[in-house]
Amino acid sequence: MALKTPGEFKESLRDGRVVYLNGEKIDDVTTHPQMKIAVETAAFDYEMAEMPEYYDLAVVEDEKTKEPFSRYFHRPKNAEDLLKRHELMLTASRLNYTTTPFAREMIDSFNGCVVTAHTMGNKEYIERTDAYLEYLKKNDLSLAGAITDVKGDRSLRPSDPKQSHPDFYVRVVDKNKDGIVVRGSKMHITGSPYLNELLVMPSRNMTEGDVDYAVAFATPVNAKGIIQIAHPFDWHRGSADFPLDVPVRSHTDAMIIFDDVFVPWERVFLCGEWEHAAMTVYNFAYMHRHTAVTYHIAWVELIVGLATAMAEYNGASRAANIREQMTELIYYLNTMKSLARASCMDCVMHGGIAIPNPVTANVAKYFYANNYHNVVKIVEDICGGILTTAPTYADWQNEETGKLMEKYLIGRADASAEARLRILQALRHYPCLGTELDVNNIHAEGSLMAARLTIYSEARKDLKLYKTLAEVLSGVTKMSQEEYFGLVRELGELGKA
Amino acid sequence: MALKTPGEFKESLRDGRVVYLNGEKIDDVTTHPQMKIAVETAAFDYEMAEMPEYYDLAVVEDEKTKEPFSRYFHRPKNAEDLLKRHELMLTASRLNYTTTPFAREMIDSFNGCVVTAHTMGNKEYIERTDAYLEYLKKNDLSLAGAITDVKGDRSLRPSDPKQSHPDFYVRVVDKNKDGIVVRGSKMHITGSPYLNELLVMPSRNMTEGDVDYAVAFATPVNAKGIIQIAHPFDWHRGSADFPLDVPVRSHTDAMIIFDDVFVPWERVFLCGEWEHAAMTVYNFAYMHRHTAVTYHIAWVELIVGLATAMAEYNGASRAANIREQMTELIYYLNTMKSLARASCMDCVMHGGIAIPNPVTANVAKYFYANNYHNVVKIVEDICGGILTTAPTYADWQNEETGKLMEKYLIGRADASAEARLRILQALRHYPCLGTELDVNNIHAEGSLMAARLTIYSEARKDLKLYKTLAEVLSGVTKMSQEEYFGLVRELGELGKA
Amino acid sequence: MALKTPGEFKESLRDGRVVYLNGEKIDDVTTHPQMKIAVETAAFDYEMAEMPEYYDLAVVEDEKTKEPFSRYFHRPKNAEDLLKRHELMLTASRLNYTTTPFAREMIDSFNGCVVTAHTMGNKEYIERTDAYLEYLKKNDLSLAGAITDVKGDRSLRPSDPKQSHPDFYVRVVDKNKDGIVVRGSKMHITGSPYLNELLVMPSRNMTEGDVDYAVAFATPVNAKGIIQIAHPFDWHRGSADFPLDVPVRSHTDAMIIFDDVFVPWERVFLCGEWEHAAMTVYNFAYMHRHTAVTYHIAWVELIVGLATAMAEYNGASRAANIREQMTELIYYLNTMKSLARASCMDCVMHGGIAIPNPVTANVAKYFYANNYHNVVKIVEDICGGILTTAPTYADWQNEETGKLMEKYLIGRADASAEARLRILQALRHYPCLGTELDVNNIHAEGSLMAARLTIYSEARKDLKLYKTLAEVLSGVTKMSQEEYFGLVRELGELGKA
Amino acid sequence: MALKTPGEFKESLRDGRVVYLNGEKIDDVTTHPQMKIAVETAAFDYEMAEMPEYYDLAVVEDEKTKEPFSRYFHRPKNAEDLLKRHELMLTASRLNYTTTPFAREMIDSFNGCVVTAHTMGNKEYIERTDAYLEYLKKNDLSLAGAITDVKGDRSLRPSDPKQSHPDFYVRVVDKNKDGIVVRGSKMHITGSPYLNELLVMPSRNMTEGDVDYAVAFATPVNAKGIIQIAHPFDWHRGSADFPLDVPVRSHTDAMIIFDDVFVPWERVFLCGEWEHAAMTVYNFAYMHRHTAVTYHIAWVELIVGLATAMAEYNGASRAANIREQMTELIYYLNTMKSLARASCMDCVMHGGIAIPNPVTANVAKYFYANNYHNVVKIVEDICGGILTTAPTYADWQNEETGKLMEKYLIGRADASAEARLRILQALRHYPCLGTELDVNNIHAEGSLMAARLTIYSEARKDLKLYKTLAEVLSGVTKMSQEEYFGLVRELGELGKA
């Protein structure tokens, strides 16, 4: 058991994986001009473990063997563990130039399987998940989670014969004594082209007829039959942009096709238990919505900073309406931060693992995703039309236009034209504004509605107690004072660890 | 030093205080048919200290003398103290049938003076505030805070000669060796007609010309020259309402006139230091916005419960849009709860007192006040028109109409007409819906704008750091990696205790 | 055929009707101390017809006989007719001290039956509705519309045996050669205690099993078996209020029980045609949502005025945030006005009657109802806490407190304490703020969801065209330029008369 | 006087103008691979005049000479003229594949000068503007409006010596008997690289010190000293995209530098009358906010169509939450449409020109801009993550990945993978979603705050009347019934032509 160096991590990605990008197959993701940016982004997770200042945050030592392993592989047992993990993810994102490394945050998906195994009381699955965790620790692996199926017709179940074909959800097409063979396709899988392992699970509830679709497993991404179509990214940087000294960080995602992939039994964590399919993805989502709100904080900090800079450069920061807008940005950011940490504080235990409070974690995700577009509107309003109409770096380099820009695009006396143009460029690129983050905010970790449905279903007990309170205080139900005080006690315990 | 019984507390209110209500002077607030409701509401604070289960929450013992005193008189030193105080206020509200006792929550105003005294380094004020705290402890007193002046023309300063007269803000009209004489009027003062002491402070920033208006002090409410005009309340309960077995709880407030009231020097905590006027009220507001969000939680729990009951009684709780609305209510309530506690966790030290995080506490207040009317809309939408058009208890008692109501106003088979009518009555009365709470939400603890301005000014350091981050990542400012990592450390420390 | 005088209208209400209020049966609604306020409110409709200035607006003359009759009984044939009717309702509301007379606005419900009769092509129903209209004209009658059933369990159909009893929706319990006998109860019926006729129709879609519930008819309100339980109102005015010289205007509503009421065939407009039940209420709602947005304009004008007055009296009207809030109020009011008139301009013909554009009329209703609580929040924010805490008229009359109020409650030098207190009183009373209008906004004319569902279903054709446009412009569907231009023509015709 | 053909229009652009793009000077905008797209987009205005079906809409004939000229050059005299102009702009946008030609919509800026000239009663300016209009008609010219200055420090006035230099706002640097010489820079000027004339005006109010900055004039864009830096556009289409049969339409804008440009007196419409600077831009904005909401309708129709298509292709269009979201989109679109037309209906006369109602036009602009980001959120939510993560056309062309996409990216049985990918591509490109339109919505025609400020200042008379109403109905002001009815009449006239 040993921590990998960033170099060893990169080396591990040269494993014959099948990855396409923009219609071409990539030979080596670590050297491909675009993909290597994503590789560096993920590699920071390994780099951080080597930074003495953050060692205690990033690394846990085995209680018995004292061998070090990534904190992501430590099963959280209480609020403190979750707060540490929160701090690790947020600090890593900040250090990594506001982009989460995302090399192992998807341990959330594996933990979803672990919790399910324990809830089912399935001894075999418990042993397999324990063994897989040891394997991850020992080899200091990275992993992606593959959840969202391509779905076909959303109004039909996976096994509905009215679907154009039966492969819209990943399913078991064969089994033998050594393992299973799976077919299907998953979409929106962040990081899979440049991480080691893939944790696959159902994306929805299943019925008895969907039994073949109730399957969860782990597999190396270079397994035979796995084909990835990665999404072009970082397209928004080019010759028209001011060169930066800051390392470029960016992730991408892939559509993954499982073209009859073999998975040995020791990596199968669900197979046919359709009643537990929904629970598996639910258990994952609880954790992952907290993860997501955590690393988005770093992006929002940057957005708020860019808006502040622009307001000041424009000489506008003291105007009443600009201050109002800055207040809205802070309100947004601080609520995100408070909700993210409150969900750790009020964690609950599922299958021996402390998970962020399910209501609060979903409230946090919903809050930031539902209000993000308003943040975009505010920042655009602060910046003004120049956010879109600013001349480019090419114009800057042209002698005649460059000198005109230098004269006319100054803001406040101490804000050079170049400084203003760089802030605007950053707002367009990070990607703070524009399609990617917009969509990511809405859809990553499930839709707005997914968060809302979870909030509702997780709060059933709360609602029951509030209703009892209402019935007592409206005289519908009579209660002795003693009983009423008992009710108050129950209210006091709601949502606490 | 001894805790007062509820009876002793009531006895202490028979002190010759001058209180008018609806045009008539009240002889004894503890026996006046309406005012005694408010007295009982406040007296619960004393009652709770006698409940063994809550003794440790409500009472602190002096480290040296071991004498018990109310937790409100314990100066919070850390996050844990604040979380305890939060739990005390919330639990008291719940036990007191969702209405905060508010007998000593206004210690916030006194603490505002204490913090100011320490920040000024004014030894005399420090000694006076220490002595007054001992007095409060020893006599187990209750207190109201008097902040809001009547103001006159809002666009003019207190001392502006264009004001119709100079008394729109409380001011010092005379001084001698024993003390000062004050004149003016304060509005919206919750509880003052039925509490012991009054803590008076400026309601705004002052300039040099306003020197006489920069005054803070404590006084018993029965001091000569103090005239209170209390506001009628609980008017919404009467013969048309179903009788309740649950104790009625309600507060009211008063306009207080200081008709040349003498205050001895040992109770004067600010007098002429106009530069510190704003800070005093600011220091109060930091704490009190957290206090307010805390006790509002209990009301919102009840509102959510009433809405849940109504949805179920109507047989509507499984409809998609009703579930959506319930989700919104839970989202609102849980965000309030998380923000309230997060503001304790991330407390800051001011003048030796731990105060809730100023940004987060204001975010919390703003969140609940700004979204409250949307909650009203949702609850009204869930209930339907019957919330307004329901026949009354008088109709219920009339034999002919009563039997028709009993038949026709049933909802779901198990929801009797009476149960539905009682829930609706409670929604109109608690007062959950309607003018009072609407206005209270907006204006108590300062306006929406007051919270926003505080959010902004308290986040200046945050904005500065975010801006630096933006400048580095946009290439405006060059930073070594080491410097960048230092910036990340600073970001990590933001808003932490 | 002759127009009734206001006195004749009042006389017509002394007809033996059975009306209860607060548990007591009312002898004569025109003299009952509370109910006569509502009678006067409705009587203004008759008064206006006598005002020469408004004769052309309020009265239409029969093309042949030249006999005059109320414009409400004129079937609108085009946009101009609708705009006139809009102006009539809005002007009447303004003249009537911002409260709609509502004596015949509910002709909307009868028109719903007319449209249905023509759409069905049912000759008998067409003749009956023609005859009934003549009867209304000839006798210059007023009428209420009775739509909302009491419903029982909302998740069950009217005829579902799981309902506690079969009478939660008005139904036919007997038929003979002369007519039908109906049983059931309707709620929230504005004006029925003090108007002449009642137009009853189903409140929802029906299935075959609900055949007995598919019934629409007209009846005088004094028919045998009709029992009304009216809702207490105007409770918010009393000895604590400043006396007003302005006439008090207010409406109330009733729960109506049909205790086996006989209806002759000539007044039956739907009986058993369950497929047309939903269409009948839909046809009514189209028109009535426009009616509602029209008369609400007058209330909102008053609210905006009260807020403006308060802002100025406080000396706050030039503050940036107050101007911002005033802007929001104007934005709200002007959007209501524009949408109301646009829905007339873009009317559609249903069964020979011009009805306001169904999408726009519902958009208008949804806009004002969905944003109303935000208006309340803003007005409360502008007024400050004094909206709730202001001392009363009783305090004003008391010599000692009165003179203190007179001194301390002045605002800007020219804004007396009395003026400020009167504006605040008006805000609490009109009823601008508080439960009644809140709920009325949400629920009258159907819930928010009802408006939304109508918007959606009425826009199906729009969506189909927009989708085609999308498919062409995204290259999914190929179209010649000529075909594309044809599509543009269709787009241009959408939602036009 | 004769209408130009599209070819003649293009020919007229080969006039030696100085335009840079991406650091390079463009020889001929009509043949430049990117710029010619914009040229075609504008040329459609000339094309439409040749379409017999739209001749009456696009062309007006001179009353005397019967010579035809563009409707844009017809000074609107009443609501009907404005509604026609509205229909022209909206129809042109739809015909031009949802993009406004924008060849002469900026006549709004010239009209702003005309109104100002008449309001000033300046005979010379009136004659010059009359003559210039004849020149535009006779030569069938296109024109851009140049309003927004580069501003420098926003907190300083144009002439403030603390500005880094005096040229942040366009100013007069020299005058002689023939004309004036101007210097400065304007930003965000849509269309100027490929239109004939430039109408320049101040962008803000001026004080006496700013006298040199109070200047408005017209100039051909090829005048000596005019340098344009155009903004790259249409960058989002490339080899990764499905080829389209539909013509590509897109505009761009430029930063314009006036490097001591000579303007003859007959083209100067304001020069030194600093008191009228604000009025000039105000008069322009009134008209242009209506223009903008008009052509945005066509874009929103497309967005709604794309969302509808995607919902249906996904088999999701019947889900309750998707229907809810579609309802929100229709509500948005129809409110835009209603407000745009209502602002024509309620036009006001300024300087002999009918202009859209200033309050309503600003309400319309504010409504669509303020709610646009919510529309983006909804559309993204409907589409799902695939909006961002979809593989590209390059992947589609690759044999192996293409066949996998074809299989797995089908939605509902009748929705091919290609159809879904094309809709998604269109959503990313039109540009419906993403930076450009976001920013355009907020900033074109002035910021959100600009619209709000106009709403407020234009509604002063309304507020005064509403306040009077409030004072009467609250008893603050006594009024006879007759006077009250007079007030009602005034209310009825508010905002009408």
**pLDDT category, C190, cuts 50, 70, 90?**
very high
CA-to-CA dists, residue B368 to A279, A369, A459, B451, angstroms? 33, 19, 19, 11
Using a CB–CB cutoff of 8 Å, tell me whether D468 touches chain C: yes
Q: What are the b/e assignments for D370-397, b being 16+ CB within 10 Å? A: bbbbbbbbbbbbbbbbbbbbbbbbbbbe
pLDDT at D452 over 80: no
User: Quick one: tokens of A225?
Assistant: 């039959």
pLDDT at B439 over 70: no
Q: What is the pLDDT of residue A431?
A: 45
Q: What is the pLDDT of residue D471?
A: 74
Average pLDDT over residues B286-304: 88
Minimum mean pLDDT among A59-68, B488-497, D2-11, D123-132: which range?
A: B488-497
Pick from B94, B335, B469: which is nearest to A302 by CB? Answer: B469
Separation in Å, CA of B495 to nearest CA in chain A: 9
Q: What is the pLDDT of residue C457?
A: 62
β-pair type (D215-220, D226-230): unpaired
Nearest-angstrom CA–CA distance, C398 and D291: 60
Separation in Å, CA of C378 to nearest CA in chain D: 15
* Tokens 């619960």 found at: B44
**pLDDT category, D496, cuts 50, 70, 90?**
low
Minimum mean pLDDT among C126-130, C187-191, D342-346, D382-386: which range?
A: D382-386
- Are B426 and A468 inside 8 Å of each other by CB? no
**Amino acid at the residue A494:** L
Separation in Å, CA of B119 to nearest CA in chain A: 26
Report residue B13: phi and psi, to 5°.
Answer: -85, -10
Q: What is the pLDDT of residues A215-268, one digit of tens each?
A: 999 999 999 999 999 988 765 566 778 887 778 888 888 999 999 999 999 999
**pLDDT category, C14, cuts 50, 70, 90?**
very high
- Are A152 and D315 inside 8 Å of each other by CB? yes
Residues of B in contact with C314 (CB under 8 A): 151, 153-154
Query: CA torsion sign, A469 to A471 to A472 to A473?
Result: positive
Separation in Å, CA of A468 to nearest CA in chain C: 20
- Are B327 and A245 inside 8 Å of each other by CB? no
Q: What is the pLDDT of residue C440?
A: 57
- Closest C-alpha to C476, from D326, D300, D381, D308: D308
pLDDT at D469 over 80: no
Using a CB–CB cutoff of 8 Å, tell me whether C20 touches chain B: yes
Separation in Å, CA of C220 to nearest CA in chain B: 21
Pick from C321, C390, C439: which is nearest to B385 by CB? Answer: C439
* DSSP code for C149: B
Residues of C in contact with D359 (CB under 8 A): 330, 334
- Are B167 and C408 inside 8 Å of each other by CB? yes
Nearest-angstrom CA–CA distance, D496 and A151: 55
Residues of C in contact with D306 (CB under 8 A): 470, 474
ipTM score assigned to the predicted complex: 0.89
Query: Bridge-partner residues for B20, per DSSP?
Result: B25, B229
Q: What is the pLDDT of residue C433?
A: 40
Residue B462 or B329, more confident:
B329
Name every residue whose Cβ is closer than 8 Å to that of residue B404 and which is 6 or more positions away in sequence: C185, C227, C229, C257, C259
pLDDT at B222 over 60: yes
**pLDDT category, C435, cuts 50, 70, 90?**
very low
Query: Bridge-partner residues for D226, per DSSP?
Result: D258
pTM of the model: 0.91
CA-to-CA dists, residue C225 to A306, A406, C260, C262, angstroms? 72, 87, 6, 8
Kindly report whether the peptide bond that precedes residue B247 is cis, defined as omega within 30 degrees of 0. Answer: no
Please answer whether residues A204 and A278 qualify as being in contact, where contact means their C-beta atoms are separated by less than 8 angstroms: yes
Residues of A in contact with C321 (CB under 8 A): 320, 324
Residues of A in contact with B309 (CB under 8 A): 467, 470-471, 474, 476
Residues of C in contact with A320 (CB under 8 A): 320-321
Kindly report whether the peptide bond that precedes residue D431 is cis, defined as omega within 30 degrees of 0. Answer: yes
Residues of C in contact with B394 (CB under 8 A): 22-24
Using a CB–CB cutoff of 8 Å, tell me whether A302 touches chain B: yes
Q: What is the pLDDT of residue D413?
A: 92
Average pLDDT over residues C317-334: 86
Residues of D in contact with C95 (CB under 8 A): 485, 488
Average pLDDT over residues D41-62: 94
Interface of C with B in 211-250 (CB under 8 A): 227, 229, 231-232, 240
- Are B253 and C438 inside 8 Å of each other by CB? no
Neighbours of chain D (3+ CB pairs under 8 A): A, B, C
**pLDDT category, B432, cuts 50, 70, 90?**
very low
Residue B468 or A395, more confident:
A395
Q: What is the pLDDT of residues C442-463, one digit of tens each?
A: 554 555 566 666 666 666 676 6
Length in residues, chain B:
497
The pLDDT averaged over each successive group of 10 residues in chain A (497 residues) is 91 96 94 94 95 93 92 95 94 88 95 95 97 97 96 94 95 97 94 97 95 98 96 69 82 93 98 95 88 88 86 88 86 90 90 88 86 85 83 91 93 91 79 46 55 64 70 73 75 64
Separation in Å, CA of B397 to nearest CA in chain D: 37
Q: What is the pLDDT of residues D174-197, one digit of tens each?
A: 999 999 999 999 998 999 999 999
- Alpha helices of D223-319 — where are they, by DSSP H? 277-313
Q: What is the pLDDT of residue A436?
A: 46
Residues of A in contact with C316 (CB under 8 A): none
Nearest-angstrom CA–CA distance, D465 and D473: 12
Minimum mean pLDDT among A94-108, A275-289, B47-61, C378-392: which range?
A: C378-392
Separation in Å, CA of D187 to nearest CA in chain A: 8
- Are A95 and B485 inside 8 Å of each other by CB? yes
Interface of B with D in 318-357 (CB under 8 A): 320-321, 324
CA-to-CA dists, residue C166 to B410, C28, C172, angstroms? 12, 33, 11
Separation in Å, CA of B218 to nearest CA in chain C: 22
Q: What is the pLDDT of residues B302-352, one digit of tens each?
A: 888 888 888 889 998 888 888 888 888 888 988 998 999 999 998 989 888
Average pLDDT over residues B195-204: 96
Q: What is the pLDDT of residues B147-168, one digit of tens each?
A: 999 999 999 999 999 999 999 9
Nearest-angstrom CA–CA distance, A111 and A201: 11
Separation in Å, CA of C418 to nearest CA in chain D: 8
Share of chain B above pLDDT 70, in %: 89
pLDDT at C162 over 80: yes
- Are A456 and B492 inside 8 Å of each other by CB? no
Q: What is the pLDDT of residues D281-307, one digit of tens each?
A: 988 988 998 998 899 888 888 888 888
Provide the 3-class DSSP secondary structure of residue C108.
Answer: helix
Chain C nearest-CA residue for D360: C334
Q: What is the pLDDT of residue B304?
A: 85
Mean pLDDT over all residues of chain C?
A: 88
User: Quick one: tokens of D276?
Assistant: 């009228």
Using a CB–CB cutoff of 8 Å, tell me whether A53 touches chain B: yes
- Are A380 and D439 inside 8 Å of each other by CB? yes
Neighbours of chain C (3+ CB pairs under 8 A): A, B, D
Residues of D in contact with C363 (CB under 8 A): 330-331, 334-335, 338
Query: Bridge-partner residues for D353, per DSSP?
Result: D350
pLDDT at B438 over 80: no
Residues of D in contact with C304 (CB under 8 A): 462-463, 466
Residues of C in contact with B253 (CB under 8 A): 389
- Closest C-alpha to C220, from C317, C135, C310: C135
**Amino acid at the residue A262:** F
- Are D439 and A385 inside 8 Å of each other by CB? yes
DSSP character string of B265-316: GGGEEEES-GGGHHHHHHHHHHHHHHHHHHHHHHHHHHHHHHHHHHHHHTT-
Q: How many CB atoms lie within 10 A of CB C374?
A: 16
Chain D nearest-CA residue for A240: D22
Residues of D in contact with B321 (CB under 8 A): 320, 324
Using a CB–CB cutoff of 8 Å, tell me whether B413 touches chain D: no
DSSP character string of B47-84: HHTT-GGGHHHHEEE-TTT--EEEGGGSPP-SHHHHHH
Nearest-angstrom CA–CA distance, A332 and D318: 33
* Tokens 């004594």 found at: A177
Radius of gyration of chain A measured on its C-alpha atoms:
25
Share of chain C above pLDDT 70, in %: 89
Separation in Å, CA of C457 to nearest CA in chain B: 17
Nearest-angstrom CA–CA distance, C84 and D22: 58
Using a CB–CB cutoff of 8 Å, tell me whether D366 touches chain C: yes
